[in-house]
Structure 1
Amino acid sequence: MPSSIARPAALAVAGLIAILPLSMVSCSAAQKAIDCGSTAVRITGDIADVTKAYDNASNDSAAAGKALQKLKTDLDQVGKNSKNTDVAKAVTDLQKQADNVQQAADKNQVPDLKPLGDAAGNLTKACTG
């Protein structure tokens, strides 16, 4: 009788061993999506702050600089923590666009914020793709 109990138990253990790696992959992918999604939300919020600050730059020019610096700081953090090459590439492009906005602001020019928004869209695509 012990052998009849041991066999189903052994099959159950074998089934768990087969399923566990699949569930770990699924959890890992889900965690990546959650982490990436929260990053994209944070970066999108930063870009909205930059846009709003530049729209009101005539009232508070320091706010535009602070908003841009916050975006750049968050991008640096995301870039350091990203292990996904597509996300890292999107972050690098976004950093380049943030630098372009900074350069225009340093020259007292009105920055073109559209490429910054487009680069943020690419980050979102990298996170969901």
Structure 2
Amino acid sequence: MLAVPVLAGCSAVDRALDCAGTAATIAESVDDLQQAVSDAGEDPAQADKSLKAIDKNLTKIQDETDDGDVGKAVSSLRDAVDGVRSDVEAGRTPQTGPVTDAADELTKVCTPG
């Protein structure tokens, strides 16, 4: 009988660790995005590549958790990424601050403890 709660607890911890790991990967993608934006004149495709990497990882987090705070953070980050994508597609200089802020919030809500 004790195995069920322990397994459920481990599952929640594993999910939180997966979320935290994916959030760390997103943070790296955000760093890549910032670099790509600063180099956009030389290689505009790099920004798109970074945005796609962030989207992929956001989908992974969204699929792995049903936590409301994580869902809100994912939604905020997805909105910020969409804003950068729109700027890039329109030839405007993208503002990456909202992406960084949203990624920081996602990291906070994904961190176990």
Q: 2:72 aligned with 1:89, yes or no?
A: yes
Q: Which residue of the partner structure matches residue 71 of structure 1?
A: 54
TM-score by length of 2: 0.86
User: Is residue 36–residue 127 contact of structure 1 (8 Å, CA) maintained in 2?
Assistant: yes
User: What CA distance in whole angstroms lies between the structure 2 residues aligned with 1:64 and 1:28?
Assistant: 35
User: Where has structure 1 moved over 4 Å in runs of 4 or more?
Assistant: none
Q: Tell me how many residue pairs correspond in the alignment.
A: 112
- TM-score normalised over the length of structure 1: 0.76
8 Å CA contact retained: 2:17, 2:111: no
Alignment partner of 1:30 is 2:13: yes
* Counterpart amino acid of residue 78 in structure 2: Q
Matches within 5 A, 1:41-120: 41-120=24-103
Separation of aligned partners in 2, 1:81 and 1:36: 8
Question: With CA pairs under 8 Å and 6+ residues apart, which has the higher RCO, 1 or 2?
Answer: 2
Contact 2:88 2:94 in 1 (8 A): yes
Conserved 8 A contact 1:79-1:92: no
Percent of matched pairs sharing the same residue? 32
Distance 1:83 1:110 in 2: 35
Higher Rg = 1
Farther off after superposition, 45-54 or 28-37: 28-37
